[in-house]
Structures are given as structure tokens and as C-alpha cells.
């Protein structure tokens, strides 16, 4: 089950389909990895909330675009939670010259792949994860976010 919580109404105002787009991206990432039954909660919130999560759980000051929190093994097969910061995501989309909808789907897919165990700390891991993101996003009709080198994420 994919649960979408829109805490910052700015998401809905800027992208009325934010909930549906998030769900599609999460479902596509899960399906690609054969985990269609896995549960995920996606929180569309603001910079202040993500900054709070970032300092409390990662010891890093300030907001970031997306955070993933893998769940411990559980009988419900809940994989974990993904949180996105509105202001950071909007600024990145504008800076990268892409629609907010595409950036949202990229970051949701990215966050879900983290819940599935993927990372990008080493170059080889980053290349593998970016390749998976490209495939998932292509299935949604979203252009390659790395084509012009604009797909940066923490």
C-alpha cells in the first residue's frame, strides 16, 4: 500500500496532480524491483519539516530535497517513509529547467529505491541507481533527469 500525505498545501497548489504523480512513481519503482506489494508512505511537506528530520535523523543542518527512512522488517511489509521538501524541490526544478511534476516523480522514485536498499555513496552505486531511475522514469514518460547533469540529490 502506498500512502501519500500532503502536509504542505503548496504542493497541491503548484502541482494539482502531486498525489497521483507520487503514487505512480512509487508504484513504478516498486514494480521494477518486483516489490509491488511493499508499503511506502510519502510525505510531501515543506523545507522546515525536512530540515527538522534532517537534523534529528542525519545530524545535518538544513533541508534537502528528499529523505528516505527504511523501516525495520515487519509483517506488514512496510518498506519505509520518504519525505520531500517543497521549496527545495521547486527551486531545483526551476534551476534545472524541468517541470515540477517530472522532478517530483524523479525524487519519489529515488527515495523508494533507497528504501529498497540502493545507494549512491560510491561511483559504481551511483551509476547503478541512476540507471534504475532512468528506466523507472522512462516507464512514466519522464525524460532522463541526468541527460544534462541536472539530477543532483543528497
Q: Is residue 148 part of a domain?
A: no
**Closest residue by Cα to residue 81 from 121, 53, 122, 123:** 53
Q: What pLDDT, on the 0 to 100 scale, is given for residue 79?
A: 96
Q: Is residue 146 part of a domain?
A: no
Per-residue model confidence as pLDDT tens digits over 63-74: 999 999 999 999
pLDDT in tens, the chain (154 residues): 999 999 999 999 999 999 999 999 999 999 998 887 779 999 999 999 999 999 999 999 999 999 999 999 999 889 999 999 999 999 999 999 999 999 999 999 999 999 999 998 888 988 999 999 999 999 999 999 988 654 454 4
Q: Which residue has the cell 534537502?
A: 64
Question: Does the reported pTM lie above 0.85?
Answer: yes
Q: Is residue 147 part of a domain?
A: no
Alpha carbon distance 111, 69 (integer Å): 9
CATH classification at residue 109: 3.40.390.30
With a CB cutoff of 8 Å and minimum separation 6, the contacts of 103 are 89, 92, 93, 96, 145
Amino acid at each position: 500500500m502506498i500512502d501519500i500525505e500532503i502536509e504542505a498545501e503548496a504542493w497541491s497548489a503548484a502541482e494539482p496532480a502531486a498525489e497521483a504523480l507520487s503514487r505512480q512513481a512509487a508504484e513504478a519503482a516498486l514494480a521494477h524491483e518486483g516489490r509491488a506489494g511493499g508499503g511506502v508512505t510519502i510525505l510531501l511537506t515543506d523545507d522546515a519539516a525536512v530540515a527538522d528530520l534532517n537534523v534529528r535523523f542525519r545530524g545535518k543542518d538544513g533541508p534537502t530535497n528528499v529523505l528516505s527512512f527504511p523501516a525495520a522488517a515487519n509483517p506488514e511489509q512496510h518498506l519505509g517513509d520518504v519525505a520531500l521538501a517543497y521549496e527545495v524541490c521547486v527551486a531545483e526544478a526551476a534551476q534545472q529547467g524541468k517541470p515540477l511534476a517530472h522532478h517530483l516523480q524523479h525524487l519519489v522514485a529515488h527515495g523508494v529505491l533507497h528504501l529498497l536498499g540502493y545507494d549512491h555513496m560510491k561511483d559504481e552505486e551511483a551509476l547503478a541507481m541512476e540507471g534504475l531511475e532512468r528506466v523507472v522514469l522512462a516507464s512514466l514518460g519522464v525524460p532522463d533527469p541526468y541527460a544534462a547533469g541536472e539530477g543532483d540529490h543528497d
